[in-house]
Amino acid sequence: MIQRLVLIFLISTQGWAMLVAWGQTEEGRALQGVLRELQELEGRVAKQQEDWEEGYRHLRSVELEISDASRRLSELRAQKITAAARRESLSREARAAKDRLDRERDQLAEQVLVTYLLGRQERLKLLFSQESPSRLGRMLVYHNYLNTARSMRVNVVTRNIDTLAQLLSEADETALALLELEQAQGEALKRLEDAREEREFMLARMDEAIRRSSGQIDWLEGEAQRLSELVAKIQDRLEVFSESEGSSFSSTKGSLNWPVAGPLLRDYGQPRAGENLKWNGVLLQAPLGVPVSAVYYGRVVYADWLPGLGLLIIVDHGGDYMSLYGHNETILTELGARVSSGETIALTGRSGGQAQPALYFEIRHSGEPVNPHSWIEAR
């Protein structure tokens, strides 16, 4: 502003002559020094603004990476639980097969002994008796039957042994798969921790820049404006969402549940870094990685990163009603997906510059924020 006034002053010939004479004075030299300092300050502010914008672009990249790593981690944990259950099932089958094998062996040993004793006794009887040869033939047939039955029992035992070996082999393969899953889970966790560390370092730099800058209110106003523009853009493109799956969203007033259970850090309508700026929703405190539930059935119309709100999900409920969920660490749904009331759609985090894990939650009607307390069932 001062520089522009000085330039206006220089335009006139009289002003130029006066400045040449005045510039030789002590006051003139002091003013020139101030102007140089102003130029340097403007340069530093411009550079700081560029760094800030670059920081937020980097923040978006890092937090999307965290979301992907966290989603993969959740998938691996689910696979590990499934594989562990399968291995336990195989172990039970293997133990049952081993028990059957032991019983078959005992019965086979008993049958062999009985057959041997019976056969020996019958042959002695035939040798010393006066019975006809036909009886001897019948006894030989009988022994053949016993031998055949014994062979069948041996085959059953053999098949049980083969089954047991196959089950044990499958159990070993499952154990190996579990080990690989655990290793992959560890690698995913390491990537997540590295991404988080990088993010924390970057946030510290950005916080320092904010403390040195006077533009925080402008930034927050810009954040609110960006969100309003996003909602308006979504409404323009949005097809009418069918409410045939149940009652309309408007009829649920006072009966919905919070998307996460936790105390309020910021409430709807509270001042936000300025007299004219208010909170359009609520900020709910929650530990990192807590499931975020959709408050009502609907369709996901936005699932991406937005400056100031980080990983954001917007669900259209029909009737010009939408619910918004911000600062997530992991998005577990996708654009266009139908979600049910109470369905997990994200995991809580601190994306978008949030200092501590929390969930930002809004309800909007016709693009305008409304008090979410009016829709939530009293605790």
pLDDT single digits (tens) 86-122: 778 877 877 787 787 777 777 767 766 766 665 566 5
For 366, the domain range is 223-374
Has residue 323 been placed in a domain? yes
At residue 34, does pLDDT exceed 70?
A: no
pLDDT single digits (tens) 222-257: 666 666 677 666 666 555 454 545 568 989 999 999
Q: Which two tokens stand for residue 94?
A: 């293997």
Beta strands in 35-114 (DSSP E): none
pLDDT single digits (tens) 275-291: 577 899 999 999 999 99
Categorise residue 202: left if φ over 0, alpha if ψ from -120 to 50, beta otherwise: alpha
Has residue 161 been placed in a domain? yes
Q: Comparing C-alpha atoms, which of 73, 69, 67 is closest to residue 312? A: 67
In whole angstroms, what is the distance from residue 37 CA to residue 1 CA?
Answer: 13
**CB-count exposure of residue 256 (10 Å: 0-12, 13-18, 19+):** buried
Query: How many CB atoms within 10 Å of residue 66?
Result: 26
End-to-end CA distance of the chain: 54
> Which domain-ending residue is among 210, 233, 261?
210
Has residue 43 been placed in a domain? no
pLDDT single digits (tens) 169-193: 887 787 788 788 878 877 877 887 7
Where does the pLDDT of residue 364 fall: very low under 50, low under 70, confident under 90, or very high at 90 and above?
Answer: very high
In this structure, the answer to whether residues 247 and 198 fall within a common structural domain is no
Give the pLDDT confidence score for residue 11 in this predicted structure. 41
Give the pLDDT confidence score for residue 90 in this predicted structure. 77
Q: CATH number of the domain that 80 lies in? A: 1.10.287
Q: Which two tokens stand for residue 47?
A: 């550079």
Stretch 36-48: mean pLDDT: 57
Residues with Cβ within 8 Å of 206's Cβ and at least 6 positions away in sequence, in order, are 52, 55, 56, 59, 353
CB 241 within 8 A of CB 299: yes
Q: CATH number of the domain that 292 lies in? A: 2.70.70.10
In this structure, the answer to whether residues 255 and 303 fall within a common structural domain is yes
> Which domain-ending residue is among 159, 188, 210?
210
In this structure, the answer to whether residues 268 and 290 fall within a common structural domain is yes
Between 338 and 18, the more confident residue is: 338
Q: Which of these ranges, 130-134, 137-141, 320-324, has the smallest mean pLDDT?
A: 130-134
CB 258 within 8 A of CB 338: no
In whole angstroms, what is the distance from residue 89 CA to residue 100 CA?
Answer: 17
Beta bridge partners of 338: 299
Collapsing DSSP states into helix, strand and coil, what is residue 67? helix
**CA 148 to chain CA centroid, nearest Å:** 62
pLDDT single digits (tens) 304-361: 998 889 999 999 999 889 999 999 999 999 988 999 999 999 999 988 878 899 999 9
Has residue 313 been placed in a domain? yes
Report the percentage of the chain scoring pLDDT > 90.
Answer: 26
At residue 202, does pLDDT exceed 50?
A: yes
In this structure, the answer to whether residues 320 and 365 fall within a common structural domain is yes
Has residue 18 been placed in a domain? no
Looking at the structure of the chain, the number of domains it has is 2
Q: Which helix (H) or strand (E) holds 122?
A: helix 26-128
In whole angstroms, what is the distance from residue 332 CA to residue 266 CA?
Answer: 25
In this structure, the answer to whether residues 232 and 133 fall within a common structural domain is no
In this structure, the answer to whether residues 157 and 231 fall within a common structural domain is no
Stretch 359-376: mean pLDDT: 94
In one-letter notation, the amino acid at residue 218 is: D
Has residue 20 been placed in a domain? no
In this structure, the answer to whether residues 365 and 230 fall within a common structural domain is yes
Report the percentage of the chain scoring pLDDT > 70.
Answer: 61
- Mean pLDDT value across the chain: 75
In this structure, the answer to whether residues 131 and 70 fall within a common structural domain is yes
